[in-house]
Structure 1
Amino acid sequence: MKQQVNSKDQVMLLLDSRSHGGIETHVLELATGLSGSGQSVSVCFLCRYDQPHPLQDLLEHQNIPVNYFDGTLSATLNYIKFTNPTVLHTHGYKAGIIGRIAASLLKKRVISTFHAGEIGSGKLRFYDWLDRYTAFLADKRLAVSQDIAARIPFVRVELVRNFINTRTLVPSRGKQIAFVGRLSAEKGPDRMLDYAKALPHLSFHIYGDGPERARLEQSAPGNVTFYGFCNMKEHWCDIGLLVMPSRYEGMPLAALEALGRGIPVAATRVGAMEQLISNGSNGYLVEEANHKLLSAAINTWHSLTEENRQEISQAAIETVERGFSVDAVLPSILEDYRKTA
């Protein structure tokens, strides 16, 4: 792919990724917002996996340059030398580790955003540890929740809000009770089956894929429908209530996508969820240890009058527009870049 040298105030966003999830959506929204504000920005993937990344077409449609490295420190060093960005902004474990080392060697300014709330196991656990214990190499450290910030040792970490572009969102008039996300233990999709069994008169819809999918489909009751990985832009309009029974979270973009469309969220109080959800106003919030109470919250929402649903829907939209939209959050990120550079 052709390499493009941008202006001297270029921001390079670096991540290691092979699929489209929460971190990737954050980077897409950030790159699009920066480009729309007139900031020169490129997105670089630490490694090219089997196919072009799912974000590539979306980024290039916005005229945002996309490049791939070979996963090594030397390739990262060479590209940073070639493009000479003013600020490097890393996202995720491996990109954070390699990006900070490269920036330190080249005396470049670097910001790192920490997204993951779960600790993981095996190799992932090691990367998480190394990511946190090399955080001191960054000029500025950001985390999407207080829980994540508290796990980074020795250094100051500031909170940054995830955000979405609300300008083109259309309010949903759907009725589905849905889970949207990766089907892995930390997201709690297994708990959706408990709620479906407790509320057999309701239908439940699960959007997403992941390591737990086969097991979940085998044990799911008949009132649960699985859709696999989807382009959610085509499905948000069908959803009336988003259920997020997570064991660990940062600040999930799925919740912002839902709230921004007027879809209330029923969630466990993990990560930054309490910054988003006001219980009974724009959704429902229960303690993670008492996640089974979400079945009562689901039934409460189902029993609302149309007038009450409109009220909770409007409160959801206002939450995102006030505190989690491009217009609300991007100015502080641009100021971070200015101060760091």
Structure 2
Amino acid sequence: MSFKRIFFVTNEYVNQKTREVFSGGLANYLYKITHILKEQGHDVNVLVIDDPWLTRDEEDINLNGINIFYRMSKKRQVHEFFYKIFTGVNLKLVRKQTTIKKFLERENKKRKIDIIQYASHCSPGLFPLQSVPQCVRISSYNKMWQIMDNLHNSSLVSQEREMYKKHKFIYGPLKYIADLIKEDLSLKVDIKTIETPFQPKEVAEDLSSFNKLAEMTKGKPYLLFYGRPSNLKGCREIADCIYDVLSAYPDLFFVLVGEQMPMEGILPEDIMRESAKEHAGRVVFFDRMQHDNLYPIIKGARACVLPSRIENFSNVCIEAMSLRKIVVGTTPFFDQIIENGKNGFLCEASNAHSLKLAIDKVMQLSQEELEEMEECAHATISRLHPDKIVKELLEYYDFVIENWGK
């Protein structure tokens, strides 16, 4: 195996301040894959451009042997607004892409870069550096994300569309999203499917939050949602069926863990409690928490309910299944990992009634059936072992390098 100098270009990455706390799926994926590649001896570098959580240039750092470079394009000036109106040119976009390209050119002159991997999110590969082999990993499809979240940002959609069209080598973790992008954008390239590697974290579990929950539930069963409560993650569908669920199962609690962001101007906690009506006392919220506190809560759940309106290979689903938990996910976004009725349950996306029916199936399982399904869920994750997935990724990198310029 030849060791490679690899650059990842992204607008988010788990850094020293946030790596043990919930972050975006892209950041968590990059954290995992970069560390695995570094452990295998590769020279791994990450360019973080315009991270939305940063307000100024952060100092470049070396995190566990991985070089992380932070770059910010300047804030948009008033004259740029009028410039775009009269010329159609987005100067902020040009400046961002120029910053990326010049940085990579300088690094390539210092020492040859073997391959660049751009994240698709926020389109950092819109002005690709043609002198170096490169690929795009699908981490988002803005057109679909915005439809599902009732958002309207045509510039993000058009930038992402143009970025995909400029690249010959594209891969992604979820075949459904890859096929959707290829068909929707009439791409002539083959999009490779390489799933996200997963290896369970070894953590010293802290039972303090679990014990607090046990006091609140008095040891009764609970369903769990964890992540970032939002419309995209299906929390509106949970709210729309939570009353019926809690009415049907008088001993059941519903627990939600994650940083709350307003949904249509209202906090998810308020929406859930209002929707639960007289059952509001059986709706429990926790803020985001570290894995040592989170894992006991996952393990104690009857099942994890993750009714995302759209998903690109859910890290949360994989993590829950690795801990022997049944997951209720949505079709077609969880079909690649959940076999309905065997290792979990599927419901229709954006459909509260379908979600309620799937929850009914979970609640109707006997203890023996529950344990059998939990073992099937756990066994499913073995195919995502880093040794297998990273081997596929490195073979793909070799393919890109070999065929670059042809």
Instruction: Quickly name the TM-score band, shorter chain normalised.
Output: 0.7 to 0.9
Q: Tell me the equivalent position of 1:122.
A: 152
Whole-Å separation in 1 of the counterparts to 2:294 and 2:255 = 11
Q: Tell me the equivalent position of 2:29.
A: 26
Whole-Å separation in 1 of the counterparts to 2:266 and 2:348 = 28
Shift, 1:248, TM fit: 1.4
- Give the 5 Å matches for 1:260-279: 260-271=322-333, 273-279=334-340
Whole-Å separation in 1 of the counterparts to 2:222 and 2:7 = 39
Q: Tell me the equivalent position of 1:198.
A: 244
Whole-Å separation in 2 of the counterparts to 1:167 and 1:231 = 12
Q: For each residue in 1:282-314, what CA deviation from the matched residue of structure 2 results, as whole angstroms up to 9, or x when unmatched? A: 111123365423323324323434333321121
Q: Tell me the equivalent position of 2:398.
A: 338
1:325 aligns with 2:385: yes
Structure possessing the higher radius of gyration over alpha carbons = 2
- Give the 5 Å matches for 1:1-20: 9-17=4-12, 20=23
1:164 aligns with 2:198: yes
Give the TM-score normalised by structure 2.
0.71
Shift, 1:12, TM fit: 0.8
User: Per the alignment, do residues 60 and 320 of structure 1 end up closer, same or farther by CA in structure 2, a change over 3 Å counting?
Assistant: farther
* Aligned with residue 310 of structure 2, among 240, 248, 253: 248
What letter is aligned with 1:188?
G
Q: Tell me the equivalent position of 2:163.
A: 134
User: Per the alignment, do residues 126 and 160 of structure 1 end up closer, same or farther by CA in structure 2, a change over 3 Å counting?
Assistant: farther
Residue 34 of structure 1 aligns to a residue whose secondary structure is helix
Of all paired residues, the percent bearing the same amino acid is 19
Whole-Å separation in 1 of the counterparts to 2:5 and 2:188 = 26
TM-align CA RMSD? 3.0
Whole-Å separation in 2 of the counterparts to 1:268 and 1:13 = 30
Contact 1:267 1:285 in 2 (8 A): yes
Contact 2:97 2:126 in 1 (8 A): no
Whole-Å separation in 1 of the counterparts to 2:30 and 2:400 = 19
Shift, 1:320, TM fit: 0.8
Q: Tell me the equivalent position of 2:86.
A: none
Residue 133 of structure 1 aligns to a residue whose secondary structure is helix
Residue 235 of structure 1 aligns to a residue whose secondary structure is helix
Contact 2:13 2:28 in 1 (8 A): no
Shift, 1:41, TM fit: 1.0
* Aligned with residue 210 of structure 1, among 234, 238, 261: 261
Contact 1:29 1:165 in 2 (8 A): no
Residue 31 of structure 2 aligns to a residue whose secondary structure is helix
User: Per the alignment, do residues 294 and 226 of structure 1 end up closer, same or farther by CA in structure 2, a change over 3 Å counting?
Assistant: same
Give the TM-score normalised by structure 1.
0.84
Residue 13 of structure 1 aligns to a residue whose secondary structure is strand
Contact 1:217 1:226 in 2 (8 A): yes
Q: Tell me the equivalent position of 2:127.
A: 101
Shift, 1:68, TM fit: 0.6
User: Per the alignment, do residues 297 and 8 of structure 1 end up closer, same or farther by CA in structure 2, a change over 3 Å counting?
Assistant: closer
Q: For each residue in 1:308-341, what CA deviation from the matched residue of structure 2 results, as whole angstroms up to 9, or x when unmatched? A: 332112111110112x231231111011111222
User: Per the alignment, do residues 40 and 293 of structure 1 end up closer, same or farther by CA in structure 2, a change over 3 Å counting?
Assistant: same
300-309 or 241-250, larger mean C-alpha shift = 300-309
User: Per the alignment, do residues 319 and 159 of structure 1 end up closer, same or farther by CA in structure 2, a change over 3 Å counting?
Assistant: same
76-85 or 252-261, larger mean C-alpha shift = 76-85
Whole-Å separation in 1 of the counterparts to 2:140 and 2:357 = 29
Whole-Å separation in 1 of the counterparts to 2:244 and 2:204 = 32
What letter is aligned with 1:184?
S
Contact 2:261 2:268 in 1 (8 A): no
Whole-Å separation in 2 of the counterparts to 1:44 and 1:162 = 20
Q: Tell me the equivalent position of 2:375.
A: 314
User: Per the alignment, do residues 170 and 299 of structure 1 end up closer, same or farther by CA in structure 2, a change over 3 Å counting?
Assistant: farther
User: Per the alignment, do residues 103 and 196 of structure 1 end up closer, same or farther by CA in structure 2, a change over 3 Å counting?
Assistant: same
153-162 or 237-246, larger mean C-alpha shift = 153-162
- Give the 5 Å matches for 1:141-152: 141-149=170-178, 150-152=180-182
Point out where structure 2 has 5 or more consecutive residues left out of the alignment. Answer: 15-22, 74-95, 211-220, 402-406
Point out where structure 1 has 5 or more consecutive residues left out of the alignment. Answer: 1-6
What letter is aligned with 2:318?
L
